[in-house]
Structure 1
């Protein structure tokens, strides 16, 4: 089957604006972040006038020296697109290899897969696609048998994806290991919260971050919650399990559905854009960067994460 452009509608979830409305609205360029509507008394000279009708932004170098010692209680990472830019050359390739092995006549092109990523979860993604475009001839007819069919495809896809990770064919994104080491060194709890299969996420964490880090990182993934992102369930579960308040957590996401999940859970969220998500709407994010970054190309660090919790900048 040729790649087909499809339009997918997503459920909406209640806004958490009541819990995060005092959070900053910060957007970034490499090495910089922009604070919007910051009171003139604290950051501008007396000659500068700011009115409610004019939104004035200015750039401040992002250095930890500017911030106090407040730290998050927990740092929560999405996996795909955040720890590793896996989607185009990892998950998509593994899906296509699985479809080819099963002789389904299905290929997901780069653009099509970008649309499918608006649906959280691989099994859900395949089901939505087949419901929209038609099920393969080799697929069973009953709903229950189709669930088992999808589960078998996903199991094989996960095996192929894990082989890519175990062979280290997909590298960590810049700054990931650095930020995790800073958090663990300061006693900040670290977890990975993903819609992907738990085995695949565990492989990323153990193979690419190493066993010493992996044993200190809790994983919440796959079907551990009944509803996947943009539903906040996985982030709520992580906070409850770790014994921390959602308002003290900082999430690192790369997608609009991940951002929606984090904000609906009442958490601060930093977006590090990935290949598929660069053009998505991140207006509700507390900060947006192209990556975390390693020195000397560092975009932000743990101190910056803590500063977002202090509500130093008012939008």
Structure 2
């Protein structure tokens, strides 16, 4: 059966600006560190995969001296690990408060995929506790229970290295040709492509201007039909998928066909009906 693997931050919920950034800054304040990241600075930090890795970008000799940090590398690693544990606690509290909504369409599409028998997973280089909190927020407890989660330090190299996706594929016993990854960043896309996966991109708060050459589909969001109604805008469609006002599972199934060229239902991975809108509304017509 085909597989749908979601990234977490920026895909399940737009968590970077309103979740991770304030959690980092609150952590810095609690530990008395002489830094607060601005929105503009954090827009660059998100290009670094992994929270501890972002924190380590601070560790110039001048910063270490100004903050009174140990020069010994092992002791410094312990400091960063402690900062990151606390940051994860703060971040998961923000997520559990419900102040950050799920992104449009993620629950609808995942529910349709589950109903159609697709395998579901999340692959992220964020801490596992953070990923699970966002997954439950976005999907609800019942649907979230059907996801496999691959996160944090289960691999050494973070995105854009393909390791986290290759690890998920290996652990689940998947054929990469049967997997669609949904990402929001160039680094994530490169990781998915490097693992041999098809990749659809839903741009997020910090990634709208990134280069997504190589993605099979780039949209502003998966969108939702009424009553939630968020209309997706197609930014790149090299396979001529031509989704309607919102992306449906059948659109993502096209990405698994050879070059996206075959439109017959027999050549596609199975979906729940020809258009499979999920539980929120009737199908919209495909304008082929």
Same fold (TM over 0.5): yes
- 1:73 is the counterpart of 2:2: yes
Mapped to 2, the partners of 1:208 and 1:225 lie a distance apart of 24
The two structures have a TM-score, normalised by structure 2, of 0.81
C-alpha displacement at 1:103, in angstroms?
Answer: 1.2
2:193 to 254, 263, 274: 263
2:99 to 169, 174, 180: 169
Mapped to 2, the partners of 1:287 and 1:133 lie a distance apart of 44
- 1:229 is the counterpart of 2:159: yes
1:142 to 69, 72, 91: 72
C-alpha displacement at 1:313, in angstroms?
Answer: 4.1
Greater relative CO (CA pairs within 8 A, separation 6+): 1
- What do the CA deviations read for 1:155-205 (whole angstroms, capped 9, x no partner)? 000000000111111110000100110110011001010010000101111
Equivalent positions of 1:33-48 (< 5 A) are none
- List, as ranges, runs of 4+ consecutive aligned residues in structure 1 with deviation greater than 4 Å: none
1:99 to 25, 28, 39: 28
- 1:89 is the counterpart of 2:37: no
Mapped to 2, the partners of 1:184 and 1:139 lie a distance apart of 48
Structure 2 residue runs of 5 or longer lacking an equivalent are 232-244, 263-288
Q: Which residue does the alignment assign to 1:299? A: 246
Q: Which structure has the bigger radius of gyration?
A: 1
The two structures have a TM-score, normalised by structure 1, of 0.75
- 1:276 is the counterpart of 2:212: no
SS of alignment partner, residue 210 of structure 1: helix
SS of alignment partner, residue 57 of structure 2: helix
Equivalent positions of 1:182-197 (< 5 A) are 182-197=112-127
The answer as to whether partners of 1:104 and 1:138 remain within 8 angstroms in 2 is no
Q: Which residue does the alignment assign to 1:181? A: 111
Mapped to 2, the partners of 1:132 and 1:107 lie a distance apart of 18
- RMSD over aligned CA atoms reads 1.5
SS of alignment partner, residue 35 of structure 2: coil
C-alpha displacement at 1:218, in angstroms?
Answer: 0.7
Mapped to 1, the partners of 2:261 and 2:61 lie a distance apart of 44
The answer as to whether partners of 1:229 and 1:258 remain within 8 angstroms in 2 is yes
C-alpha displacement at 1:73, in angstroms?
Answer: 1.1
Equivalent positions of 1:23-42 (< 5 A) are none
Mapped to 2, the partners of 1:128 and 1:106 lie a distance apart of 12
In 2 relative to 1, CA 162–309 (structure 1 residues): closer, same or farther, beyond 3 Å? same
SS of alignment partner, residue 269 of structure 1: strand
Structure 1 residue runs of 5 or longer lacking an equivalent are 1-71
